[in-house]
Amino acid sequence: MMERQLDLLIVGGGPAGLAAAIPAHDAGCRDILILEREQHLGGILRQCIHSGFGLHIFKEELTGPEYAQRYVQMTLERNIPYQCDTMVLDIAPDRTVTATSPVHGVQVFRPKAVVLAMGCRERPRGALGTPGTRCSGIYCAGTAQRLVNLEGFMPGKRIVILGSGDIGLIMARRMTFEGAKVLAVVELMPYSSGLKRNIVQCLDDYGIPLLLSHTVTDIRGRERLEGVTVSKVGPDRKPIPGTEIQYDCDTLLLSCGLIPENELSKTAGVTLDRATAGPVVDQHLCTNVSGVFACGNVLHVHDLVDNVSEEAEEAGKQAAAYVAGTASDVRLVAEVEDGEGVRGLVPRRITGTVTAPVKLMFRPANVYKDAQLETLVDGEVVATRKARIFTPGEMVTALLLPKFLPQDGKCHKVSMRIVQ
């Protein structure tokens, strides 16, 4: 069995992995390897053929394949080594990485630092508790997107979509463009977590109804899906009897949330956060395991890929510094907690001597209009920001200025909350 020592191993060749590799290389770290389980670099963006990517990083609107290609190009220009078609099976707490591929068989790597950039996966039917038969014709929206956009197959002709996140909305238009009839998009919550732009341009433009406070309460079909029952739900999110609507359809797409894919983080001994389902990291994207960093959707599910690239850049720089022996001090100076209306703050830990503003990101727990975001240090409000609206679909970024964090060697409590 091959065994190799190297400086930096990056698990995942999607937007996060590539955006981490590039600054690590530029910082002088040359012994890098990116492992990617697909046969191409680029990750999920390859199948996201719609546009809307890159407005922040490249100041222009790109499609997913175009955005991915820019990072692939930057990786190739630097001759950063990568290996596709390679599945990482295990990461040990001492950072020993075991991978397998058809070409190389089982490989063992002993890197000085690891960047976790495995991304996320879709919440499947089994996790939703939807009743009904186990017929074919039920797909996660992203799987359908892959089938249509990359493999050239149409999953069906008459479609109901459960969940109104952006992937579900984008797929409603995509399936319509490919000649299918999208009967409805059904959303359990009283609001959509998708962007307004997608609701208008993917549903309203094509007269596709969005049923808020509704859910699928039955799935019918023996071999193939024949129809679904949709019911209105009350404020308790329980179906209301007598509100059933029947749809004859051959396909049900599920767009019901994304889950960071952290099986490998667990084998490495990385502590995970309950709210984000991703690793607990400090402001340098460093996990509790020395030399293991995390970025992108494996850390927390992002709304914009531009934010992934930015976060991954920091992870790459920090991993390179760790390899060079110039990593920042990891002494804990503050723990970060979610307050009222705030879910999944990243980072959870602030370490070392804080000289630069710490960027904190989270998702609002609900829709709040004309509300105020408050930052608290040890229970005292130190900063406030007003906004006309906070919604779960749009991540909020806030900066914690160093002057608000007493540098007295003690561990402080930082939190954020939304008040109306």
Partner 1 sequence: MKREITCIGCPMGCLISAEVENGSILSMSGYTCPRGEIYAKQELTTPERAITTLIRCAGATPLSVKTASGVPKAKIPECLAAIHAAKVTLPVKEGQVVLHNVCGTGVDVVATRDISGSWLMVSG
Q: Which positions touch partner 1 (CB under 8 A)?
A: 38-40, 46-47, 49-51, 61, 63, 65-66, 69, 146, 148-152, 177-178, 195-197, 199-201, 204-205, 388-389, 391, 393-394
**Spatial contact of 209 and 181, defined as CB atoms under 8 Å apart:** no
Least distance between partner 1 and beta carbon 401 (Å): 26
Q: How far is CA 415 from CA 66, 169, 410, in A?
A: 38, 33, 16
Complex with partner 1: residue 201 or 328, whichever CB lies closer: 201
Task: Tell me 118's DSSP state.
Answer: -
Least distance between partner 1 and beta carbon 199 (Å): 7
Least distance between partner 1 and beta carbon 145 (Å): 11
Complex with partner 1: residue 23 or 393, whichever CB lies closer: 393
Tell me how far apart the alpha carbons of residues 335 and 144 are, in angstroms, rounded to a whole number. 40
**Spatial contact of 217 and 230, defined as CB atoms under 8 Å apart:** yes
Complex with partner 1: residue 145 or 231, whichever CB lies closer: 145
Residue 233: count of CB within 10 angstroms of its CB: 19
Among candidate residues 312, 323, 313, the one with its CA nearest the CA of residue 5: 323
Least distance between partner 1 and beta carbon 187 (Å): 14
Tell me how far apart the alpha carbons of residues 124 and 130 are, in angstroms, rounded to a whole number. 10
Complex with partner 1: residue 40 or 134, whichever CB lies closer: 40
Complex with partner 1: residue 199 or 327, whichever CB lies closer: 199
Least distance between partner 1 and beta carbon 242 (Å): 30
Task: Please report the DSSP string for 225-286 in residue order.
Answer: --EEEEEEB-TTSPBPTT--EEEE-SEEEE---EEE--HHHHHTT--B-TTTSSB--BTT-B
User: Which residues contact residue 413 at a Cβ distance below 8 angstroms, ignoring those fewer than 6 apart?
Assistant: 334, 335, 337, 376, 377, 378, 379
Complex with partner 1: residue 199 or 414, whichever CB lies closer: 199
Complex with partner 1: residue 205 or 244, whichever CB lies closer: 205
Least distance between partner 1 and beta carbon 178 (Å): 8
* Buried-state track 122-141, b at ≥16 Cβ within 10 A, e below 16: bbebeebebebeebebbbbb
Least distance between partner 1 and beta carbon 414 (Å): 26
Complex with partner 1: residue 29 or 68, whichever CB lies closer: 68
Complex with partner 1: residue 178 or 378, whichever CB lies closer: 178
Least distance between partner 1 and beta carbon 391 (Å): 5
Residues forming beta bridges with residue 215, ordered by sequence position = 231
Tell me how far apart the alpha carbons of residues 21 and 26 are, in angstroms, rounded to a whole number. 9
**Spatial contact of 282 and 216, defined as CB atoms under 8 Å apart:** no
Q: How far is CA 283 from CA 169, 172, 190, in A?
A: 33, 37, 34
Least distance between partner 1 and beta carbon 47 (Å): 8
Length of the chain counted residue by residue:
420
Tell me how far apart the alpha carbons of residues 325 and 308 are, in angstroms, rounded to a whole number. 26
